[in-house]
Chain A
Amino acid sequence: DAGVIQSPRHEVTEMGQEVTLRCKPISGHNSLFWYRQTMMRGLELLIYFNNNVPIDDSGMPEDRFSAKMPNASFSTLKIQPSEPRDSAVYFCASRRTGSYNSPLHFGNGTRLTVT
């Protein structure tokens, strides 16, 4: 079990640039979650997918944010254009659907810095 894999680990970009964060969930997990963590706001759920379908994107802060899950083994979170206030650690997590008590498995996160 390779765990949830996120890339890149660190991303530094300039304001206005497009940023794409990537996530590979654990094989067999068909729920995927994107979280954002900051000192000020803590851990925020941005969006989650069930069987590759977006279920709840109410946490996506603005239209500048978009997420896709084209297949069961890959998801992206895109920010276009990026702004300094988007600086945060972004986590991807996956879970096995069908068992409500199954825990989330987190990746190590992508630390995004927008200058």
Chain B
Amino acid sequence: AQSVTQLGSHVSVSEGALVLLRCNYSSSVPPYLFWYVQYPNQGLQLLLKYTTGATLVKGINGFEAEFKKSETSFHLTKPSAHMSDAAEYFCAVSFSGGYQKVTFGTGTKLQVIP
């Protein structure tokens, strides 16, 4: 069964510091991986996705993620945090088989300290 694990339910960084949010997946087949962001009182929005090809994926708002098959990881990074990045971030996985079910991680709330 597919699954996603996000390490750390809360992460705090100073404004201007590196953001690193961790995501690991388990799979026996090649995964499709996504990061979503949720701002207060809103639905989830797509930040970026990995399908095939280049393992470093760039998304909106300066975020990027790298797919590392050997580590079964898809960590999200941003070089310099901005106050507007404060939100909850979800990693998700999907596979080419079955009925295209999408499985989400438990989420990581990012706090940015001025």
Taking Cβ atoms with an 8 Å cutoff, the residues of A that contact B are: 4, 31, 33, 42-43, 45, 48, 50, 55-56, 91, 93, 95, 97, 100-101, 103-109
Interface residues of B in 12-26 (CB under 8 A from A): none
Instruction: Name the one of B42, B96, B106 contacting A100, with C-beta atoms under 8 angstroms.
Output: B96
Known: A4-B43, A103-B46, A106-B44. A42 touches B99 (CB 8 A): no
Q: Does B102 contact A (CB under 8 A)?
A: yes
Which residues on A sit within 8 Å (CB–CB) of B42?
Answer: 108-109
Which residues on A sit within 8 Å (CB–CB) of B90?
Answer: 43
> Please, what's the 1-or-0 string for B26-53, where 1 marks a CB less than 8 Å from any CB in chain A?
0000001010100001111110010100
Known: A4-B43, A103-B49. A48 touches B99 (CB 8 A): yes
Nearest chain A CB to B30's CB is how many angstroms away?
A: 10
Contact check, A101 vs B51: say whether CB atoms are below 8 A apart: yes
Of A42, A45, A100, A107, most B-chain CB atoms within 10 Å: A100
Which residues on A sit within 8 Å (CB–CB) of B106?
Answer: 42-43
Instruction: Name the one of B41, B45, B51 contacting A106, with C-beta atoms under 8 angstroms.
Output: B45
Q: Does B10 contact A (CB under 8 A)?
A: no
Contact check, A104 vs B32: say whether CB atoms are below 8 A apart: no
Q: How far is the CA of A24 from the CA of B36 in the complex (A)?
A: 21
Known: A50-B100, A100-B32. A91 touches B44 (CB 8 A): yes
Instruction: Name the one of B34, B43, B103 contacting A103, with C-beta atoms under 8 angstroms.
Output: B34
A-B contacts, 6 listed (Cβ < 8 Å): A48-B101, A93-B43, A95-B102, A101-B49, A101-B51, A103-B49
Interface residues of B in 57-104 (CB under 8 A from A): 90, 92, 94-96, 99-104
Least CB separation from A107: chain B residue: B43
Contact check, B101 vs A45: say whether CB atoms are below 8 A apart: yes
Contact check, A97 vs B100: say whether CB atoms are below 8 A apart: yes
